[in-house]
Amino acid sequence: YSTDGENWTQLTSGTTKDLTFTANGKVYAKTTDAAGNTTSASTFTVTNIDTSVPTVNATVSGKTATISLADNIGLSGYTVTTSTSTPSSWTSVSGTSASKSWTASSAGTYYAWVKDVSGRTAYKAFTIASTAFCSYSVGTTWDYAYTGGVQTFTVPCAGTYKLEVWGAQGGSIPQIAGGKGGYSYGNISLAKSTNLYIVVGSTGTATSGTTGVAAAGGYNGGGKAYISNSNYAAAGGGGATHIATTNRGELKNYSSYKSEVLIVGGGAGGAYYEPAGSGFGNILQPGATGGGTTGGNTVGTNPTLTATGGSQNSAGTGHMTGGFGIGADADWSGGGAGGGWYGGGTNYYADGAGGSGYIGGVSGGTTTNGQQSGNGKARITLVSTQ
């Protein structure tokens, strides 16, 4: 036999012979008998020998991939996976070429697979971007500053979001700055078009030089400060910052609706100053920190005049006790307490105690004391899309 009609291969004697070919094409054959008589050459064509692996390509538009399949002999199946391990399950397909449409349910890297009739396989990687499910990229942030009112965030796409809140600093006086507000963060899964309501606290104001004048606490629960002598100085407590699933305004309004609050950053206590020779004399206290699991305690001039910070279950105590979402007012010389999940307490001749933070409505988070200077703030970050 010959594959070119010129160069011949002689086989062993006999009446039949099986031949194996590895390439497609024409084959020439002739027979010579024992007497040396040779027939003229006959021809036949070898077909359907699989000489190459199948091919697969994918083009992506949004969350849909168009998968192009081809093989020189014939296709038998295709599939899409998230792994480069050979699949065990295939969707049937026939012919030597085909085009299939596949739609992703989430962003990520995928692998389009093809198998031919000989069992050979191949794959092609392609990526579905997060923007196919959301017009915002993962990592996009929305920041909220103090406005004195409620602000609304409408969820643009279903996914996981990181919520961060910073409570406001306690009010400062010329002699010393107020305590720093607390910080809380955590994650939450949200459906598209869900509304969240953000209330950002403000720092407390200061009073000095006029006996009997109170200084207002910060927005969202900061307690008032008060001085009983014109030589003294004191400042109100900082307000809390919170995010909730409903719009009820300030945090104190959620006393009967606590489950609607997702996260809180506690406000810090206001500073206090009393010069030597006046009352207890020579007092200079910055205000207790706001916002951890428990708000900071006041410094106090002695143990009997210490006030405590708010906790997860109750308000801080002292001569004056805070409340849910409310830092205590000073009713004599002293700084105002910080607002928070529960506000801090106040006492005579002392700075204000801090309010507590809260993370009960989020997952994987924490709350930390003493992180924020000035007014509070909030931030929402897109972590992943669904």
And the tokens for 307? Answer: 């006030």
Nearest to 183 by CA among 49, 306, 359: 359
Side chain identity at 374, as an amino acid letter?
Answer: G
Return the SS3 of 304: helix
Q: Which pLDDT belongs to residue 5?
A: 78
- Per-residue pLDDT, averaged over 241-263, amounts to 98
Name residue 377's beta-bridge partners: 145, 166
Confidence of residue 286 (pLDDT cuts 50, 70, 90): very high
Given CA atoms 101, 106, 107, 111 in this order, what sign does their dihedral have?
A: negative
For the segment 201-249, what is each residue's pLDDT rounded down to a tens digit? Answer: 999 999 877 777 789 999 999 999 999 888 899 999 999 999 999 999 9
- Predicted local confidence at residue 22, as pLDDT: 62
pLDDT(70) > 60 = yes
Distances (CA, A) of 97 to 45, 57, 298: 24, 12, 78
Greater model confidence, 37 or 279: 37
Residue type at 367 in one-letter notation: T
318-334 pLDDT, tens per residue?
Answer: 999 999 999 999 988 99
Q: How confident is the model at residue 301 (pLDDT cuts 50, 70, 90)?
A: low
Q: Specify the amino acid at residue 84.
A: T
Of 18 and 83, the one with more pLDDT: 83
Residue 371: band (very low, low, confident or very high) from pLDDT cuts 50, 70, 90 = very high
**What integer best gives the mean pLDDT of the chain?**
92
Task: Report the pLDDT averaged over residues 335-348.
Answer: 96
Dihedral (Cα; 183, 189, 191, 193), 10-degree rounding: 10
Average pLDDT on 96-121 reads 94
pLDDT higher for 165 or 44? 165
Contact 121, 113 (CB under 8 A): yes
DSSP state of 320: B
Q: Which amino acid is at 386?
A: Q
